[in-house]
Chain A
Amino acid sequence: MNVFDIIGPVMIGPSSSHTAGAARIGHIARQLLQEEPAAAQIVLYGSFAKTYKGHGTDKALIAGILGMEPDDPRLRFSPRIAREQGLDVALSTGELAEGHPNTAVLTLTGRHGGTITVRGSSIGGGNIVIDAINGMPVHISGQHPSLIVQHRDRPGVIAEVTDQLADHGVNICNFTLSRRQKGGVAVMTIEMDGGLDEELAARVRALPDVMLCVTLLP
């Protein structure tokens, strides 16, 4: 922790978990979609579902999906801005059997037809965790530069990717891997201390078994 964890962040109120955290979840989902969003389906769970009206959780999520940061003064006008920009938003509430009480599931569809479903939870103080992408378990805090790599589940793919990171002088601070079935599609989430740039992402993207490689910067 440092002094700016105590006095900071600068944010749009009223709640670091229900507003600032929600904006971050929306923003990460937008980055993962990798294109201009045309439609967003938002499902709120737990305390998000119960209190979103008073906390502006819906506005914060939409603002994030539009690419706004948690301190953007336009955040509270985000539903109007979404209409102006042609982003179609559908909001509903649901019940989750398990998971964190402040959870949102966002399904975004891009203008070029891409689609992604992201589940995120706000875990306090504006901190968040993305724990599923397209139903695959991941762990993204958004506090470190991260690479999300979707790839074919074959021997040696992890080594090929981490070799690229090593060549680039990058230190990994968190690594998770998940897959649905052997030989199918797998997802690596790699959080690092620094050194992530487009050149590194392009090198990973060029690997034969890599299907998708997305960079997230904090």
Chain B
Amino acid sequence: MPEELNYHSLAGLVAAAETAGQPLSALVLRQQAAQLEQTEEEVFHHMEENFRVMAACIEPGCDPDLRSASGLTGGDACKMRRRVEEGKNLTGPVMGGALYRALAVSELNAAMGRIVAAPTAGSCGILPAVLLTMQERGATEHDCVMSMFTASAVGLVIAENACLAGAQGGCQAECGSAAAMAAAALVELGGGTPRMLDDAVAIALKCQLGLVCDPVAGLVEIPCIKRNAAGASIAFMAAELALAGIGSRIPADEVILAMRRVGNTMPSALKETAEGGLAATPTACRLCKQVFG
């Protein structure tokens, strides 16, 4: 029964999708429509709007003259895109495309552009980067939007069992969760099984476990923007491995709980307070003075 679908565990969602013989996204859409007291079409349309806002971030994000309010960042997505379009980048159009798109959306966020938090503003570049790259490679907009329901379901499970805020769980909770969500969307777009989705989420999270939140000058710029590019590449890596049938020895639900424990034991200096990690380096202190005087 779709009404009984819950977000207590990813294993539960995987089992529900296997039993129903349907993609997880279809089950989530049905359950959300019931919960929100809307039709499936209305809920789909709302998600489609979010996808289109994501897509609209790329061009302004690739403006070579784009600069953040602090003046510290901007203009890098343009450089990466140029290299990809010239066919010169090492890893081809998929990875290159994901990298420049992740930079574009994150740099636009830093420059006070209009973005979709996914799951947060600090990690807003990862999901659009992988989805828009898949669309360029032939995925339909409809399938991309549906895969966002699968990604959201992963986010809901993480929110229920750990957290999604850097201030609470470090960067692993923001960019880590975003990469896990993106990896799940990629598995669905790649025609993988629900079981592979669990593996991809586990692999993506494992590779960012312990990542601290240490923003220079407390701003959502350094190192956040490049960690969005990293998150997009980790999402592709995790999905590739899972789609090849490579499992995670540790199931996703246990990785999520491990992430929660790691986050709880992380000192507060490494949780968005800008007191530790990169934020405490001499260069970061100099940049901080430059911005705030």
Given A53-B291, A55-B219, the answer on whether A7 and B115 have CB atoms closer than 8 Å is no
Instruction: Check: A67 CB closer than 8 A to any chain B CB.
Output: no
Docked Cα-Cα span, A75 to B108, in Å, equals 14
Classify the interface of chain B: helix, strand, loop or mixed. Answer: helix
Instruction: Check: B114 CB closer than 8 A to any chain A CB.
Output: yes
Interface string of A52-83 (1 = CB under 8 A from B): 01111001000000000001010110000000
CB <8 Å contact, B292 and A51: yes
- Number of contacting residues on B, CB 8 A? 52
Docked Cα-Cα span, A69 to B241, in Å, equals 42
Which one of B121, B167, B292 has the greatest number of beta carbons of chain A within 10 Å?
B121
Docked Cα-Cα span, A10 to B220, in Å, equals 17
Which one of B32, B152, B156 has the greatest number of beta carbons of chain A within 10 Å?
B152
CB <8 Å contact, B112 and A59: yes
Instruction: Check: A16 CB closer than 8 A to any chain B CB.
Output: yes
- Number of contacting residues on A, CB 8 A? 33
Given A3-B152, A125-B120, the answer on whether A11 and B292 have CB atoms closer than 8 Å is no
Interface string of B87-131 (1 = CB under 8 A from A): 000000000000000000000111111111111111010010000
Partner of A14, one of B36, B148, B151, B221: B221
CB <8 Å contact, A8 and B167: no
Nearest to A3 among chain B residues (CB) is B152
Docked Cα-Cα span, A125 to B115, in Å, equals 14
CB <8 Å contact, B120 and A16: yes
Cβ contacts A to B, 21 pairs, < 8 Å: A1-B160, A3-B47, A3-B149, A6-B118, A6-B156, A7-B148, A8-B116, A11-B116, A12-B114, A13-B111, A14-B68, A15-B121, A19-B112, A47-B218, A51-B217, A54-B69, A54-B217, A54-B221, A55-B220, A76-B69, A125-B164
5 A-B pairs with the lowest CB-CB distances in the bound complex, closest first: A13-B109, A6-B155, A3-B152, A76-B112, A14-B220
